[in-house]
Structure 1
Amino acid sequence: MRTILIGTAALAILGLAGCKEKALETGAPVAGGARAVATLKTAAGAEVGRVTASEVAGGLRFTIDAKAMPSGTHGAHVHTTGLCEGPDFASAGGHWNPTGMKHGSMNPQGPHEGDLPNLIIGTDGRGTLGITIPGATMAGLLDGDGSALVVHAAADDLMTDPSGNSGARIACGVFGAS
């Protein structure tokens, strides 16, 4: 009996180790993977950050480095069109949503592929965010009309369609191959 218990425990540990390795696969860096970069600007043209999209195993990794932005919690989303015309950045279109889902990670019918977690900006005007979107592709991001990263004035509630009640668009950057 003791041998069976030890054998079962060993198999369970090996199974968990295999799960851990599998979880690390998505998001692992890809040698020579493509990158795209967007410079975030306000409607007045002030530069307020940079966004990098990098190909990783199983998806894209988005990294936002923001500066000189209003402190607080802000919705951040990848939008469908690579155009950032002020004053409201409506030219960036809606959220990147190639799979036709509803908005938000807390929505049972979501999320959009372009729904990112909230970006938290400190009292010094700086904030960072890093997230891997499984299944996202560089070809989809840099399609015929491109895409943009938009930062909103308010926090995203992560549920309400179409944009999480995240308010006005306060910064925008168009992705370009890097």
Structure 2
Amino acid sequence: MGKGVAVLNSSEGVKGTIFFTQEGDGVTTVTGTVSGLKPGLHGFHVHALGDTTNGCMSTGPHFNPDGKQHGAPEDANRHAGDLGNIIVGDDGTATFTITDCQIPLSGPNSIVGRAVVVHADPDDLGKGGHELSLATGNAGGRVACGKLRKDQLTELWSYLLAGIIGLQG
């Protein structure tokens, strides 16, 4: 089983933890919680680069190894990194589970080392008619991101536990 985690942060107070699991060559299950967002839909994508040195702007475009247009997760013609929208409640938090067959954790199209990005606006799934619909889903600015790291769950739990019991330096 492959496992990974992305810890999302932003200068705007958006935070989240996204877990990825994959059994063999099967679908990848994405579970997460993101807080600090405005209520409603927010585009959710895997971007091509794991570089966050310039915040979320340095994560590159959506992960698109097959050179396709932007689309909905269920579309045959879509970027591999197009995961649709997450739904944020009135409390500013989204809790979600997504399954997808185009985001493996191993092999030539692995998403490990790439960034997970939450956008400011809804993803129109390539159907909005806007000039950016077929490129980005017209999902607006990047409000939080984090690099997907493989097999880091133990390290994350240690970090969280240290923060809870006050051992963090």
Q: TM-score, normalised by structure 1?
A: 0.72
Any gaps of 5 or more consecutive residues in structure 2? 127-132, 152-169
- Count of aligned positions: 141
CA contact (8 A) 1:48 1:66 kept: yes
- Check 1:118–1:108 CA distance in 2 against 1; reply closer, same or farther (3 A cut): closer
Q: 2:134 aligns with which of 154, 158, 161?
A: 161
Aligned twin of 2:130? none
Which amino acid counterpart does residue 125 of structure 2 have in structure 1?
L
Q: Does 1:122 align with 2:89?
A: yes
What is the distance in 1 between the residues matched to 2:76 and 2:22? Answer: 26
| Greater Rg by CA | 1
What is the distance in 1 between the residues matched to 2:99 and 2:70? Answer: 17
What is the distance in 2 between the residues matched to 1:74 and 1:43? Answer: 17
What is the distance in 2 between the residues matched to 1:157 and 1:105? Answer: 8
Q: Percent identity?
A: 35
For structure 1, which segment, 163-172 or 119-128, has the greater mean C-alpha deviation from structure 2 after superposition?
Answer: 119-128
CA contact (8 A) 2:19 2:32 kept: yes
- After TM superposition, which residue ranges in structure 1, 4 or more long, deviate above 4 angstroms? 106-109
Secondary structure of the residue that 1:137 maps to in structure 2?
coil
Any gaps of 5 or more consecutive residues in structure 1? 1-32
Q: 1:53 aligns with which of 16, 20, 29?
A: 20
CA contact (8 A) 2:44 2:118 kept: yes
Q: TM-score, normalised by structure 2?
A: 0.75
Q: CA deviation at 1:47?
A: 5.6
- Check 1:69–1:85 CA distance in 2 against 1; reply closer, same or farther (3 A cut): farther
Secondary structure of the residue that 1:161 maps to in structure 2?
helix
Aligned twin of 1:75? 43
CA contact (8 A) 1:43 1:86 kept: no
